[in-house]
Structures are given as C-alpha cells and as structure tokens.
C-alpha cells in the first residue's frame, strides 16, 4: 500500500517582515536572512513543502531545488516528534519553535543539533506562497504539539 501524500509547490516569495521573540531568546527569528543555521554557515531556504500522512506517522517535508532540507515527523506510536536532515539522520524534535511570516525557527537540544549538523537555533526561510504557509503552519501545529511555540496567523499571534 502506497503512502498517500499531498505536495504543495510554490513560487519564490520576496515578502519579509520582522518577527518577535519566541519562548526563549534562542528561538527568536528576525527576518534578517544573514542568520546562519547549517554547520557550514549557509542559510537554510525552502521552496517546497510536502505533507505525507500514513497510518503510523505524519511528516512535513521541507525542500529546496528538489532536495529534502529537513523533515519533521510525528510517529503516532508513543507520540514521538523527530527532525530528520537531508542525509537521513534522525534526532529528537525541537523543544520550541516559531513560525513568523515566512521564517521558521526550530530550537534543538545540543544532542539533536549535533546529530543533525544544524545549529541549536535552526532557522529556515520559507519561500512559499501564503496558502502553502497556512498548510505548513497547520501541519506543524499537529506534529509539534508538545513543544513551546509562537505562530503568527492572519487572526493574530498564537503562543503555546
């Protein structure tokens, strides 16, 4: 049986605005794209978002130029959330996260950051249209229920 999935592909957006702090200072994400997240100092950019739902898991796949940048997965058995890098390394999900406008910040513990090769404050620029951002936001809220978060919505800011 194949895994049903939806793919959302969006054109590049140039819209940006300043974002405010999240649960802790290290999750704060300003729209300054000079912030570095990868171990090699590159900005993690995303131009594609896929959502895959199976009987045992829900996965948000964020990619760029046809390559998976990061996967965020919830395994229903035990309600375990995980982050997976492009090399397939798996680590515990973020302790906190923020989605402000088109900027996603994942706060990882030291062990997870080292396993994934990301900084502890992993930042991604989502170059996605507004409809796709809404789908990403809804999926993140479903997957990362246990983490502290701040999310901007058209109706206002949600803090959890």
Distance CA 157, CA 108 (A): 22
Residue 20 has pLDDT above 70, yes or no: no
Burial of 100 (0-12, 13-18, 19+ CB in 10 A): buried
Alpha carbon separation from 61 to 6, 21, 28, 105 (Å, rounded)? 10, 25, 22, 15
Confidence category of residue 30, pLDDT binned at 50, 70, 90: very low
Distance CA 78, CA 92 (A): 13
Residue 8 has pLDDT above 90, yes or no: no
Closest residue by Cα to residue 122 from 145, 93, 148, 144: 93
Query: Where do the structural domains in the chain lie, given as residue ranges?
Result: 5-9+20-29+43-159
Q: Tell whether the torsion through CA atoms of 99, 63, 106 and 15 is positive or negative.
A: negative
Residue 85 has pLDDT above 80, yes or no: yes
Rounded average pLDDT over 88-117: 95
| Size of the chain, expressed as the number of residues it contains | 160
Q: What is the pTM of this model?
A: 0.75
Residue 2 has pLDDT above 90, yes or no: no
Distance CA 153, CA 16 (A): 15
């Amino acid at each position: 049986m194949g895994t049903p999935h939806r793919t959302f592909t969006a054109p590049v957006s140039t819209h940006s605005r300043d974002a405010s702090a999240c649960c802790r200072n290290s999750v704060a994400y300003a729209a300054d794209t000079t912030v570095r997240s990868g171990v090699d100092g590159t900005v993690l950019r995303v131009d594609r978002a896929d959502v895959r739902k199976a009987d045992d898991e829900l996965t948000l796949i964020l990619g760029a130029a046809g390559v998976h940048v990061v996967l965020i997965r919830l395994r229903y058995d035990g309600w375990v959330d995980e982050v997976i890098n492009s090399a397939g390394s798996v680590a515990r999900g973020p302790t906190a996260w923020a989605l402000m406008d088109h900027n996603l910040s994942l706060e990882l513990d030291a062990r997870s950051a080292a396993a994934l090769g990301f900084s502890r404050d992993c930042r991604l620029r989502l170059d996605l249209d507004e409809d796709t951002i809404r789908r990403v936001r809804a999926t993140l809220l479903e997957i990362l229920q246990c983490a502290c978060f701040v999310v901007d919505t058209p109706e206002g800011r949600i803090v959890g």
